[in-house]
Chain A
Amino acid sequence: MKCYLILPTLLGFTFTAFAAPQTFDFADPKGVNNATFTLDAPLETITGSTNGISGTITIDRENPEATKGQIVIDATSLHVPNPVMKEHLHSADWIDSDTHGAITFELKGLEDVKVEGEKAHATALGVFTIKGVSKEISVPVQATLLPGQLAARSNGQMEGDLLVLRSEFVIKRTDFGINPGAPTDKVADEIQVRLAIAGASSKE
């Protein structure tokens, strides 16, 4: 019996939480937001990451499927622990960060949105661009709304909400012209990308 009462309350809270348009800024002066990438290679798995993430996402609370925005990664900020490997990574054969300084994901909408309390799971549809090559992709995303938590994160300097986005997906480097000539038995074609970012929406 209680379930019948609690469920509508929860759904009502969820609806309220996601019910009004809200823009979240993912610029992160704390350097917590990160994207990691992993490629298999014979000797060791190549793993790198970046904190150079920015962008905005606007959630349409009445229509979460219409959520839009753009996440931008500064290509020059990609880091791997081996200096020679890092030099190769940024070279023209690989991501050519001097010429193509931004890796972007333009979010065009969400589908299969499932809301569970303050968390939402969805498939993000958008255009992923690396090295000047754009492809439409769909990636799973988990969104967690943290109402009123901006104050805690900004030491009380700002009031507002936080939105945490997490996503893991795979792209093929050959699809984006990332050293397509490199043999796949030396460096895998598949790049596993993991994104964990938090955006802030301050109340004015």
Chain B
Amino acid sequence: MKINKLLVFFRFFAIVLFAACLAVWIAGGAERGWTKTSVPTTFEDEITGIEGIRYEEKFVPGIEFPAAGIALGGFLWIVGGFFRRRTK
């Protein structure tokens, strides 16, 4: 029995893509909201006591990343299924 190389290629690539998206998401703090390109930081004005807000530019990958990993990885996994023909 011989497994089609294209099947292996697509399935392997699907797993790699999903793992990469998941890794980027986890490395970025596993943000469960949307992707952000800036994050708020607060500081207190000593005189007035007002808590000021500043935004710092920072990329925080959101839930789109694992979602995209599942969608694209799943798509490639299914595409790979079309090459399932096995030869004896």
Give A residues with C-beta under 8 Å from B. Answer: 30-34, 36, 43-44, 47, 49, 51, 79, 81-85, 146, 149, 152-153, 162, 164, 196-198
Q: Please tell me if the beta carbons of A36 and B53 are within 8 angstroms of each other in the complex.
A: yes
Interface SS of chain A: helix, strand, loop or mixed?
Answer: mixed
**What is the interface size of chain B, counting residues whose CB is below 8 A from a CB of the partner?**
22
Tell whether A146 pairs with B38 under 8 Å between CB atoms, given A43-B63, A44-B32, A51-B53.
Answer: no
Asked if B49 is at the interface (CB within 8 A of a chain A CB), the reply is: yes
Q: Please tell me if the beta carbons of A82 and B35 are within 8 angstroms of each other in the complex.
A: yes
Q: How far is the CB of A119 from chain B (nearest CB, A)?
A: 12
Tell whether A49 pairs with B40 under 8 Å between CB atoms, given A31-B52, A31-B54, A44-B34.
Answer: yes
| A196 CB contact (under 8 Å) in B38, B47, B51, B55 | B51
Q: Please tell me if the beta carbons of A32 and B33 are within 8 angstroms of each other in the complex.
A: no
Q: Please tell me if the beta carbons of B48 and A146 are within 8 angstroms of each other in the complex.
A: yes
Residue of B nearest to A82 (CB): B34
CA distance A162 to B40 in the complex (A): 26
CA distance A84 to B53 in the complex (A): 21
Tell whether A30 pairs with B45 under 8 Å between CB atoms, given A81-B38, A164-B50, A197-B50.
Answer: yes
Chain A residues near B5 (CB-CB < 8 A): none
Residue of B nearest to A84 (CB): B34
B56-69 to A contact mask, C-beta < 8 Å, 1/0: 00001011000000
Tell whether A79 pairs with B48 under 8 Å between CB atoms, given A34-B53, A44-B32, A44-B33.
Answer: no
| A198 CB contact (under 8 Å) in B33, B34, B35, B50 | B50
Asked if B84 is at the interface (CB within 8 A of a chain A CB), the reply is: no
Chain A residues near B35 (CB-CB < 8 A): 82
Q: Please tell me if the beta carbons of A162 and B52 are within 8 angstroms of each other in the complex.
A: no
Q: Please tell me if the beta carbons of A79 and B32 are within 8 angstroms of each other in the complex.
A: no
Residue of A nearest to B44 (CB): A32
Tell whether A43 pairs with B48 under 8 Å between CB atoms, given A81-B40, A81-B55.
Answer: no
- A sample of 26 cross-chain residue pairs with beta-carbon separation below 8 angstroms, ordered by A number, consists of A31-B54, A32-B45, A32-B52, A33-B50, A43-B33, A43-B34, A43-B63, A44-B32, A51-B52, A79-B38, A81-B37, A81-B39, A81-B55, A82-B35, A82-B37, A82-B62, A83-B37, A146-B47, A149-B47, A149-B48, A152-B47, A153-B47, A164-B48, A164-B49, A164-B50, A198-B45
Chain B residues near A197 (CB-CB < 8 A): 50
Residue of B nearest to A44 (CB): B33
Give residues 12-43 of B contacting A (CB, 8 Å): 32-40
